Structure 1
Amino acid sequence: MSVVGVDFGTLNTVIAVARNRGVDVITNEVSNRATPSLVGFGPKSRYLGEPAKTQEISNLKNTVGSLKRLAGRTLNDPDVQIEQQFVSAPLVDIGGQVGAEVTYLGKKEKYTSTQLVSMFLSKVKATASAELKLPVSDLVMSVPAWFTDVQRRALFDAAEIAGLKLLRLMNDTTAAALGYGITKTDLPTAEEKPKRVAFIDIGHSNYSCSIVEFKKGELAVKSTAYDRHFGGRDFDKALVDHFAAEFKEKYKIDIKTNPKAVVRVAAAAEKLKKILSANQQAPINIESLMNDVDVQSMMKREELEALVEPLLKRAHVPLEEALAQAKLNKEDIDVIELVGGCTRVPALKERIQQFFGKNLSFTLNQDEAIARGCAFSCAILSPVFRVRDFAIHDIVNYPIEFTWEKSPDIPDEDTSLTVFNKGNVMPSTKILTFYRKETFNLEAKYAEPDLLPGKINPWIGQFSVKNVKADANDDFMICKLKARLNLHGILNVESGYFVEDMEVEEPIPEEKDAEKKDGDKKDPNAMDTDDKPKTRKVKKQVRKGDLPIVSATSSLDQSKKEAAAEQESSMIMEDKLVADTEDKKNELETYIYDMRNKIDDTYADFASEDEKTKLKAKLEASEDWLYDEGEDATKAVYVQKMDEIRAVAGPIAQRYFDKVEKEREAQRQADEAEAQRKKEMAEAARAAALAQEEASSKKDEEMPDAETVKPDEVTEPESK
């Protein structure tokens, strides 16, 4: 079973997998650790991820980005109108949901944002499967903390269409916090003061700040604040606007009238911004930008900072809001941990450091921390891996209230209640009690619509409670409903049941010895009796049966999901067929060039002149066909053309391979003979050495022992 964490970003997506030795970020088909979050459409197939990025400039009107920020939105949402500035394809309304109109397989098609996300998740699934060499089904995916119920449900639907099971939708900063805390061995114990860390995530389009308290084995999010329109792309846009004005004055070209020129300048501006993060100045050069005009310019870091000053002035706002919600001061924060690519901008780091008045921390990988946290979460939820227990307590970001129909039998009944307040721990379950004599409906919605992003409808869902009726005495049925805000941040009324007030007997707890009176002490001489425990009658609510609940939410109907999944499967098969066809075409082209080189070189001695002439003629004819008529042939035709060449070249190649095989066999036999010779020589040497050793040993045994002469027995010779 695979354990996959996905940081689904506006610009790029990072995929991490849990392995026995930890968490690894996997690379895609071109060995990049981040995959562009793009979906493109062409005359033959789709382009997902890297291929979509490669053909983006030449296929602008059929390429869709900002997938995450379109999910669960409507076309008239002001946030969607902002996204249109960053999405090349035209956005349209599809049944109340925003989507894109593109040309696919030569026809105009419309796809909802949910379908577009599912297409990209299919790519994520394929990339992870190719790396792991296992089928991928379960994953944990990150989302911004400000995502609402409808946006989260849209991602769930997209994952299901792509054949994936989302184990958890995790807030970005919470995922970063998990990746930070689960590896720490020095966290304070339950009795000690918690470690407070501010996680600041500034990515391509979004700025979030969460205050998190850590104790051994757990984290608790105390607050989360955000700026939904603050990120790297806003810095890029400031640069594009600046250079558009400069090029208009300097080169008399207006790039705003040419979408391709704007995209090329945006790509150059992004590179310039990155260079200026490490250097004081950087050049920008674009060849043939527009009307065959080459452009160039130079920018200093101070100029960039002046351009983005309006953005930098907003940098402190989420920080102040997060501290206020957590009811903490700057001095209470122990560590300020930064993640997200935009946190590399020196001016931004400087503003954040000035705000807190202490050094910033960069212990996490800024681009991969969230994906790693998601992979850890997936490993925790998976039964396959044994991971250190780590509890995650996230919070509700928008207050949720329930409203219901007033009962005619209860004229003064309140008809609304805020069930989940902002800042409540999530996941969370609440039991709602109603007194009713007939079926009734209740509705869930966000209590403060002004807090929601853009113009998202505050409505969450409607729930109809069935089989409610008065009892035999025409009294109310006591209905209990279980409302749950789950770990994904999605609300449901999960179950309903009814209870009755009944008298039941329960044992009276015995008094403690210290509380007993002296007169109640047991006589040691008295006989033991089997006294029954004392009981009392109390009124309790006893569950008597279930109540069916019919839910209406923003999730797609099962039939629509199945239809979309079937369509996605057919598109995947179409993409695969096109890829296989392209492979066969390339294989044919390579084979023609390879054979043309070999016929006068490697195979020259193995073919007659007649065979060479025939093969050269066949190769030339095949090449002419390939570049004239064979551009759009089917896979079967390319295979057939390859077989035709092989029919002519086969006997020649076979003769060459037979000779090579004979040479290999002869070489193998020679190697074996040489090995045998060396083996025999080694054995002979060992035998000779052994014989010499035995002879030496025998000679030592035959020699008499030398007499021992004591020193005092030595005498001088007598003098004459």
Structure 2
Amino acid sequence: MIATASDPNLGGRDVDLALAEHFCKEFQSKYKMDARSNPRAFLRLLTEVEKVKKQMSANSTTLPLNIECFMNDKDVRGDIKRTEMEQLCGHLFQRVETTLKQCLDSSGLTLEDIHSVEIVGGSSRIPAIKQLIEKVFKKIPSTTLNQDEAVSRGCALQCAMLSPAVRVKEFAVKDVQNYAVSVSWDASTDGEAAGEMEVFPVNHATPYSRMLTFYRQEPFSIKAMYTGNVPYPDKNIGTWIVKDIRPNAEGKPQKVKVKVRINLHGIMTVSSASLYEAKESTENENGEETQQQQQQQQQQQQTNQNSTEQQNDVDAPMTDGTNNAAPEVGSSTSWTKKISAWFSGEGDKEKKKKQVLKSIELPIESLTAGFSQVEINQYTEQEFKMIAADRQEKERADARNAFEEYVYELRGKLSSDDELAPYILDSDRSALIKHLDDMENWLYDEGEECNRQVYQDKLAELKSKGEPIQNRKIEFELRPFVIEDFAKSLQLTMKALEQMKANDPKFAHLTDEDVKKVDQAFKQSYQWLEQTRQKSVNAPKHLAPPVTVAQIRQEKNEFESTVSPILNKPPPKAPSPPKEQQKSPAEEKTQQAQNAQEQQNQQQNQTQENMEWSSN
């Protein structure tokens, strides 16, 4: 699958401008007004012609355009057909056809290689553009994707793939370089000529890195630029100066490797530069130092390799023998000198000498149109400060809104005769309403721009006065239901006590101590509930309740935790009969059936009692 975009300088806005120019001329001749002279009027015209353009995609009849109070409090009217629009935008559609043909040619595909053509974007709804696509690719364009959201959804998916905090399925997206990138370098003082090379051709895979090798003895600069047909007047990308290059001990140039890279965002940069310096060392004298340097070099190479694999780079060394300096020249010793050194005793000494290649990271000065790393860090820090300020402002606004909402809510309930008014004295209610009025005046005057803590403190102060009133209302409304619930539980217990006194077989297994315990708990709770009921009837509404709902529920739970285990205690199992009293198999089967029926009836009765307990 290959994705491509149309001309970057051609889109739906160009069609809108063509239609707007048409109506500007019409309004000039009909109403004697120039829409171009009024930016606000011209913006409204662009908005309306965009709506008409969308309607023309599905309608070929004459479509009206009406704008009220367009200029100088005058209304304007006009109309246009789809055929007129196609004539006005004919030069734009010709550019679309040319771009489509160039896209097909540059892709290297034949019409038989293309399975389908999917189009997205608002302008793809224009019938003339669909006809051009079908004309070029010999296929009816497909519109299975959402034409307005496809690009944004793709960007969101790409961001999710790159984000370490989001896990998505494994995708493989291969991007290419749309425009060729070339690099050039300046001449050196030792006679090396300047050169230029295209490092990233058109449609080259990205991200990608290339390694360029130079032989230099002084700092030099590398310049990058776009080549080919680039839709921007300035093709320059930037200049990078590789510093701290020095000649070797013999005064000759040294090898310098420069890494140029295009990252996954399509940004080209010179990412690193290294100087490879060759030194001779004696194995006996500097054995430990040489070994340490080799280990460091191996670790550095391993680190670079791992970094390359993580970044999905492909390093391709590139050299140009014409433009670069002469290649490395290795030292050679004639056989005569070797034999002479052998007999003079210097052979062993020379044999022990080794060449060590040391890599030195070189600093790079970047001269690009973008921001430097210091500026990026500063702007990033500024962005975080702005995010924190936005968060603080939102929290401040939320605290202010919560305070304002509570003032209005509490005052409205206090003013109503059937809300909170019965639960506060008239004098206290008038004083509290006046205080709420003062808080409202303060909020719109001095308290307009206070910080979050001030609003929270004011809200806490009001809640300390308003919540006790609301709690008294809640207590008064819930107390009858809670008392009635407790009374039902006591009524069930009293019924069970009456059955115990009547020697009901269901409670025959309970001991006298169990019955006494149930009876004592019932009397205590019944007396407590009657006292609570009497206190609640005579308690005024504007005062705190003598007994709260929570206390009544706690008393009920303590009563049921004492009584329920006794009333739900199962009877003990009957002992097995002696062997001589055992019945025949038929009689035993009949007796088992009768026992099972009686046990089932008893379990049903017990379950019904338990359900009554649990429901109350």
* Range into which the TM-score falls when normalised by the shorter chain: 0.5 to 0.7
1:478-523: per-residue Cα shift (whole Å, max 9, x none)? 333232233332223323242766989xxxxxxxxxxxxxxxxxxx
Instruction: Give the corresponding residue for 2:431.
Output: 614
The answer to whether 1:603 aligns with 2:499 is no
1:303-358: per-residue Cα shift (whole Å, max 9, x none)? 44444333222211221222222233444322211122332333322222222221
TM-score by length of 1: 0.51
1:552 to 366, 370, 375: 366
The answer to whether 1:416 aligns with 2:168 is no
SS where residue 315 of structure 1 aligns?
helix
The answer to whether 1:328 aligns with 2:109 is yes
Which letter maps to 2:366?
A
Partner Cα separation in structure 1 for residue 403 and residue 40 of structure 2: 34
- Superposed displacement of residue 380, structure 1: 5.1
Name which of structure 1's ranges 370-379 and 484-493 shifts more when overlaid on structure 2.
Answer: 370-379
Which letter maps to 2:117?
I
SS where residue 244 of structure 2 aligns?
strand
SS where residue 256 of structure 2 aligns?
strand
Instruction: Give the corresponding residue for 2:215.
Output: 435
Instruction: Give the corresponding residue for 2:99.
Output: 318
**Does structure 2 retain, via aligned residues, the 8 Å contact 1:479–1:499?**
no
The answer to whether 1:403 aligns with 2:184 is yes
The answer to whether 1:464 aligns with 2:464 is no
1:128-161: per-residue Cα shift (whole Å, max 9, x none)? xxxxxxxxxxxxxxxxxxxxxxxxxxxxxxxxxx
Instruction: Give the corresponding residue for 1:358.
Output: 139
Instruction: Give the corresponding residue for 1:259.
Output: 39
The answer to whether 1:230 aligns with 2:7 is no
- Superposed displacement of residue 415, structure 1: 2.5
**Does structure 2 retain, via aligned residues, the 8 Å contact 1:398–1:446?**
no
Matches within 5 A, 1:213-612: 226-247=6-27, 254-280=34-60, 283-295=64-76, 297-377=78-158, 390-410=171-191, 413-436=193-216, 438-448=217-227, 451-472=229-250, 474-493=251-270, 494-498=272-276, 543-554=357-368, 555-599=370-414, 600=416, 601-612=418-429
- Superposed displacement of residue 293, structure 1: 4.2
Partner Cα separation in structure 1 for residue 180 and residue 594 of structure 2: 102
Partner Cα separation in structure 2 for residue 231 and residue 664 of structure 1: 71
Bigger fraction of residues in helix: 2
SS where residue 401 of structure 2 aligns?
helix
Partner Cα separation in structure 1 for residue 86 and residue 187 of structure 2: 58
SS where residue 571 of structure 1 aligns?
helix
**Does structure 2 retain, via aligned residues, the 8 Å contact 1:439–1:464?**
no
SS where residue 119 of structure 2 aligns?
strand
Partner Cα separation in structure 2 for residue 671 and residue 270 of structure 1: 73
1:657 to 468, 474, 480: 474
**Does structure 2 retain, via aligned residues, the 8 Å contact 1:426–1:485?**
yes
Partner Cα separation in structure 2 for residue 382 and residue 229 of structure 1: 31
Partner Cα separation in structure 2 for residue 605 and residue 322 of structure 1: 81
Partner Cα separation in structure 1 for residue 142 and residue 260 of structure 2: 40
Partner Cα separation in structure 2 for residue 261 and residue 592 of structure 1: 45
Which blocks of at least 5 consecutive residues in structure 1 are unaligned? 1-196, 201-207, 209-225, 505-540, 688-692, 702-720
- Superposed displacement of residue 379, structure 1: 5.5
1:179-212: per-residue Cα shift (whole Å, max 9, x none)? xxxxxxxxxxxxxxxxxx4535xxxxxxx1xxxx
1:421-457: per-residue Cα shift (whole Å, max 9, x none)? 2233333332322222x22212222153x63333335
Larger Rg: 2
Over 3 Å counting, the alpha-carbon distance change for 1:237 and 1:652 in structure 2 is farther
Over 3 Å counting, the alpha-carbon distance change for 1:668 and 1:415 in structure 2 is farther
Which letter maps to 1:228?
P
SS where residue 139 of structure 2 aligns?
coil
- Superposed displacement of residue 655, structure 1: 2.0
Higher RCO (CA 8 Å, separation ≥ 6 residues): 1
CA RMSD of the aligned region, Å? 4.3
Matches within 5 A, 1:89-108: none
SS where residue 3 of structure 2 aligns?
strand
Q: Identity rate of aligned residues, in percent?
A: 33
Over 3 Å counting, the alpha-carbon distance change for 1:480 and 1:578 in structure 2 is closer
Which letter maps to 1:550?
I
Matches within 5 A, 1:688-703: 697-698=593-594
1:577-631: per-residue Cα shift (whole Å, max 9, x none)? 4333433443344334333432204223223332343344344444455556665
Instruction: Give the corresponding residue for 1:173.
Output: none
SS where residue 219 of structure 2 aligns?
strand
Instruction: Give the corresponding residue for 1:536.
Output: none
Name which of structure 1's ranges 330-339 and 624-633 shifts more when overlaid on structure 2.
Answer: 624-633
Name which of structure 1's ranges 323-332 and 386-395 shifts more when overlaid on structure 2.
Answer: 386-395
Partner Cα separation in structure 2 for residue 584 and residue 293 of structure 1: 47
Name which of structure 1's ranges 610-619 and 353-362 shifts more when overlaid on structure 2.
Answer: 610-619
SS where residue 334 of structure 1 aligns?
coil
Partner Cα separation in structure 2 for residue 417 and residue 620 of structure 1: 79
Partner Cα separation in structure 2 for residue 670 and residue 260 of structure 1: 76
**Does structure 2 retain, via aligned residues, the 8 Å contact 1:483–1:492?**
yes
Which letter maps to 2:421?
A
Instruction: Give the corresponding residue for 1:219.
Output: none
**Does structure 2 retain, via aligned residues, the 8 Å contact 1:341–1:367?**
yes
**Does structure 2 retain, via aligned residues, the 8 Å contact 1:465–1:496?**
no
Partner Cα separation in structure 2 for residue 615 and residue 338 of structure 1: 67
Over 3 Å counting, the alpha-carbon distance change for 1:385 and 1:350 in structure 2 is same
Over 3 Å counting, the alpha-carbon distance change for 1:652 and 1:258 in structure 2 is farther
Over 3 Å counting, the alpha-carbon distance change for 1:447 and 1:490 in structure 2 is closer
**Does structure 2 retain, via aligned residues, the 8 Å contact 1:285–1:296?**
yes
- Superposed displacement of residue 656, structure 1: 1.8
Partner Cα separation in structure 2 for residue 387 and residue 247 of structure 1: 54
Matches within 5 A, 1:634-653: 635=452, 638-639=455-456, 642=459, 645-646=462-463, 649-653=466-470
- Superposed displacement of residue 458, structure 1: 0.8
Partner Cα separation in structure 2 for residue 465 and residue 269 of structure 1: 57
Matches within 5 A, 1:663-678: 665=482
- Superposed displacement of residue 646, structure 1: 4.2
SS where residue 266 of structure 1 aligns?
helix
SS where residue 187 of structure 2 aligns?
coil
Partner Cα separation in structure 1 for residue 260 and residue 161 of structure 2: 25
Over 3 Å counting, the alpha-carbon distance change for 1:304 and 1:614 in structure 2 is farther
- Superposed displacement of residue 552, structure 1: 0.8
Over 3 Å counting, the alpha-carbon distance change for 1:568 and 1:392 in structure 2 is closer
